[in-house]
Chain A
Amino acid sequence: MANQQDLYQYLLRLGDNALILGQRLGEWCGHGPVLEQDIALTNIALDLIGQTRSWYQYAAEVEGKGRNEDEIAHFRDAIDFYNVLLVEQPNEDWAYTITRQFLFDAFNYYLHLELCDSKDAQVAAIANKSIKEITYHLKYSSEWMIRLGDGTEESHGKMQQAVDDLYMYAGEMTEPDELDQRMAATGVGADLQAIRPKYFEKVNEIMDRATLTLPENQYFQQGGKKGRHTEYLGFILADLQFMQRTYPGLEW
């Protein structure tokens, strides 16, 4: 049985990852390179927002202050968001968007596989519902990594640049902190130590098939899980929270 405060914090991490990446993907809506991929990315965004709702609804219940999922999304500042740094990185171009997606999907897949067996029935239920969506996300982003990495000289160059710039955010996800360790010990959270080798094996496999190379400098940035973010999160929240901050309780 996990401490309720720990569980609340842990649920926010799960929900925040999904919300911020979903919001980033939503920025592609109407701007995709072709109609088919515009729809594909916004489909994934909607999957992620749906997962966010499940995590926040449960978080609100655990918090026990009568808040709902919208209030949890709209009335917290950047320092109270616990998503990993990777998901808040800007879309830039298709290569960055796909690379960010793949680096996250591979983690998210193994994370949810573990959470499917959580000792918390609600966590397990949400993970079981989400794993089908996440399995598709990983297939989608892996295929684009390979297609473009092992594509033309130009596409390879753009993908390699994105990998060089984003890989420093890949380590934080599988690096357990005290909360991760306590949650894993109760059997409610996932064991990141167990996920880490599987994650990097998957990343290496896809990079190989995409003929891309990982940067030699493997220093990983971290801080998101503790609420220490890159400059980008504030701008994302300004967009996301504007209406509710300006007109609290607005409905439409």
Chain B
Amino acid sequence: MNANWPLWEIFIRSKSGLNHKHVGSLHASDAEMAIENARDVYCRRNEGVSIWVVESKNITASDPDDSDPFFEPAKDKVYRHPTFYDLPDEVKHM
């Protein structure tokens, strides 16, 4: 039975104003069941206010073999981070 059900990636928004975050994956026969399963599997302890589900096959991921050309060049360019400014205490989440 399980083998026939496609896999879905589950994204939960923990409270209004925040982004949906990937929390895991589960099996379901369609999107509606995926939402209900996600509600039962990932939101039992008051974790969320909104659920997105995406069938895993619809996600295109970057190739781990490409990670050097993809990500390495960013590492030594500290000037791309705003680390040279003095931030006032009032500015949060930087």
Contacts and interface: CB of A to CB of B under 8 A. Distances in A.
A140 B40 CA distance: 11
B54 to A, nearest CB: 16
A39 interface: yes
Interface residues of A, number: 11
B44 A43 contact: yes
B52 to A, nearest CB: 17
Contacts of A34: 1-2, 5, 27
B32 A143 contact: yes
Contacts, number: 29
B51 interface: no
A34 B2 CA distance: 7
A40 B32 CA distance: 14
Contacts of B5: 34
Interface residues of B, number: 14
A33 interface: yes
A36 interface: yes
Given A40-B37, A143-B32, A143-B36, A33 B44 contact: no
Contact of B40 (A33, A36, A143, A147): A36
Nearest to A33: B1
Interface string B79-92: 00000000000000
A36 B27 contact: yes
Interface string A204-215: 000000000000
A201 B25 CA distance: 37
Interface string A140-182: 1001000100000000000000000000000000000000000
Contact of B41 (A33, A36, A140): A36
A140 B35 CA distance: 11
Nearest to B34: A36
A40 B36 contact: yes
Interface in A33-63: 33-37, 39-40, 43
Interface of A: 33-37, 39-40, 43, 140, 143, 147
6 contacts: A33-B1, A39-B41, A43-B44, A140-B36, A147-B29, A147-B33
